[in-house]
Amino acid sequence: MPSIREAFARVETAALGCLAGLSPAVRRRAPNGLEFLSLCILFSFAVLLVSATPPEKHLSIYSTAANYSLPIVQRQGHDYVGLLELLDPLGTVSAKSDPPRWRIHYNNILGDFTVGKNHARIQGRDADLSAKFLIENGRGLVPLASLGSLLPRFLGGPATLHEESGRLFIGSIATHFTASVALDDPSQLIFHFTSPVNPSVATEPGHLRLTFSREPLTSPASPTLTFGSKTIPSATYSESNGTAQITVSGTVPLMASFSNDGRTITLSPAKSQTSATAVPAPSNPAPQEPAANQSASIPRRYFAIVDASHGGNDRGEALSNTLAEKDVTVAFARRLRQELENRGISTLVLRDSDANLSLDERAFFTNTTHAAVYVALHAASNGHGVRLYTALLPYTSEDDRGPFRSWTTAQQSSITLSQAVAASVATELRKQQIAVRTLTAPLRPLNNIVTAAIAVEVAPSASDLSQLTSPDYQQLITTAVANGIVAIRAQLGAAP
């Protein structure tokens, strides 16, 4: 199945080229006449095939095991998908159709469904469906809208459904991205992704569209991004029919080039048609070079990065039977962002959802956005008040000098600034009568951050754990932390 889809995707890309002659990938390769002709004929067939049937709706599924796509069928005004087909790539699955009953085994979990019923039994427990269960040719069809609640019962983990756009995230899988305009050349826009991506690129007057059908790309904090660039004023993020799209508006025709193993995409004004046709051969390596140069000079888009530590499978400390550290850190992070923005400090919260974000990804994001200060938030049941940490750098010597040395001790050059931030925040916390300690800690990713970086570990002021979720306590702490950062803002602004 995937190979057929891929083949179609190639035909489509080639077709765009034969119609408009615009796709840079195709233009770069300069197909010969016969190849070009045959692709155009193939495309005509594809158009005939596609135009004969209405566009089919798809559900894209993203998981660590596989990324795949399934057709969505409409029955009685509801969207349905085949449950067996959905679970098949994720584990060992078998189904037995014995109308009106339909049973499915996924690993050791038994699901028992009945045609026409709005509920099912999974491992002997009731599960509600948003519409009636159906069987067609032995295939068990479940309503799309129920997947978000149904799948965790089979998979034993979270599943997030974007119902409108037909996208399903199994576990906490996600690819995040940032976008910023190059400082030395405002006509270039650079996207950084946390995992390699391979979108299809389409150009139309005034726009360039990147379409991600296989990547679990997730929305940035705001779906509309604006850049202070005349050439590339804005970009919007959207999702539809199993894909995510980034549409970039441009006042001149744009082209995309990929670097950093598919983690970076640079958009820049397309070279004029005449120069491209005049010198076809050297146009190949050209787009790579500017991308490599710019990664060193991306402008600062956010002054502060607030990192809600842990998330997804990493729950952090189990603060109580019901309270996980990862949920407390998000609450603190959102409040701290509000307090910083109230003080005119542009702030990005890393992990504004329950996503898995590795320590490397957190450091990579912070370093590529060129923020002035990084604040990681932790919560603890042990002790009281607030502990402020700066990096305890690992051992290095002349003998250890190698390619990875700079990554583990990237914080080295900013450590004095980080200590100054910690001291400033400590002063503000003490003003609020909050017990505070300043320590170093072997705590990643502090040592991987190239700018001022601190971690804030919040414990209750007394032994009452419920304080950690109390809005008053969160407000008290985040106000003081924000004041501490504002107090040292001038010093941070001057930082490289």
Partner 1 sequence: MIPRHLYIAVSVLVLAVLGMSLYAWRMRGRAAAEPAASVDTRPVVAPVAGPTEQVTLYVAYDDDGVLHAQTAQIPLPSVRQQRAEELLRSLIALYLDKSSPHPLPPGSDIRSVYLVDPGLAVIDLNAAFADGHRSGVLTEELTVASMIQTLSANIPGILKVKILVEGKQRDTLAGHADLSAFFDVSAINRLTSQLQSSQ
- Binding site residues, partner 1, CB under 8 A: 310, 314, 316-318, 325, 378, 380-383, 387, 389, 392-396, 408, 437-444, 447, 455, 457
Q: How far apart are CA 248 and CA 269, in angstroms?
A: 12
Tokens of 367: 């370093």
CB of 349 to Zn ion, least distance (A): 16
Look at residue 487 and give the partner it binds from Zn ion, partner 1, none, a contact being a CB closer than 5 to 8 Å depending on partner kind.
Answer: none
Q: Hey, CA dihedral for 355, 390, 447, 380, is it positive or negative?
A: negative
Look at residue 440 and give the partner it binds from partner 1, Zn ion, none, a contact being a CB closer than 5 to 8 Å depending on partner kind.
Answer: partner 1
Q: How far apart are CA 261 and CA 193, in angstroms?
A: 10
Q: What letter does residue 56 receive in the DSSP assignment?
A: P
Q: Which of 213, 486, 205 is nearest to 373 (CA)?
A: 486
Q: Which of 242, 92, 97 is nearest to 155 (CA)?
A: 92
Q: Which helix (H) or strand (E) holds 102?
A: strand 101-106
Q: Looking at beta carbons only, is 71 or 383 nearer to partner 1?
A: 383
Residue ranges that bind Zn ion, judged by CB under 5 A: 309, 316, 378
Q: Looking at beta carbons only, is 229 or 381 nearer to partner 1?
A: 381
Q: Looking at beta carbons only, is 378 or 387 nearer to Zn ion?
A: 378
Q: Is 304 exposed, middle or buried (0-12, 13-18, 19+ CB in 10 A)?
A: buried
CB of 399 to partner 1, least distance (A): 10
| Residue 380 backbone phi and psi in degrees, to 5 | -145, 150
Strands 373-379 and 304-308: parallel
Look at residue 383 and give the partner it binds from Zn ion, partner 1, none, a contact being a CB closer than 5 to 8 Å depending on partner kind.
Answer: partner 1
Look at residue 326 and give the partner it binds from Zn ion, partner 1, none, a contact being a CB closer than 5 to 8 Å depending on partner kind.
Answer: none
| Residue 47 backbone phi and psi in degrees, to 5 | -60, -45
Single-letter residue type at 83: L
Look at residue 455 and give the partner it binds from Zn ion, partner 1, none, a contact being a CB closer than 5 to 8 Å depending on partner kind.
Answer: partner 1
CB of 172 to partner 1, least distance (A): 16
Look at residue 393 and give the partner it binds from partner 1, Zn ion, none, a contact being a CB closer than 5 to 8 Å depending on partner kind.
Answer: partner 1
Closest residue by beta carbon to Zn ion: 378
Q: Looking at beta carbons only, is 72 or 420 nearer to partner 1?
A: 420
CB of 317 to partner 1, least distance (A): 4
CB of 291 to partner 1, least distance (A): 30
Q: Looking at beta carbons only, is 112 or 314 nearer to partner 1?
A: 314
CB of 391 to partner 1, least distance (A): 10
CB of 394 to partner 1, least distance (A): 3
Look at residue 109 and give the partner it binds from Zn ion, partner 1, none, a contact being a CB closer than 5 to 8 Å depending on partner kind.
Answer: none
Asked if 226 and 389 count as a contact pair (C-beta separation under 8 A), the reply is no
Tokens of 267: 């958009």
Strands 109-114 and 119-122: antiparallel
**Helix (H/G/I), strand (E/B), else coil: 340:** helix
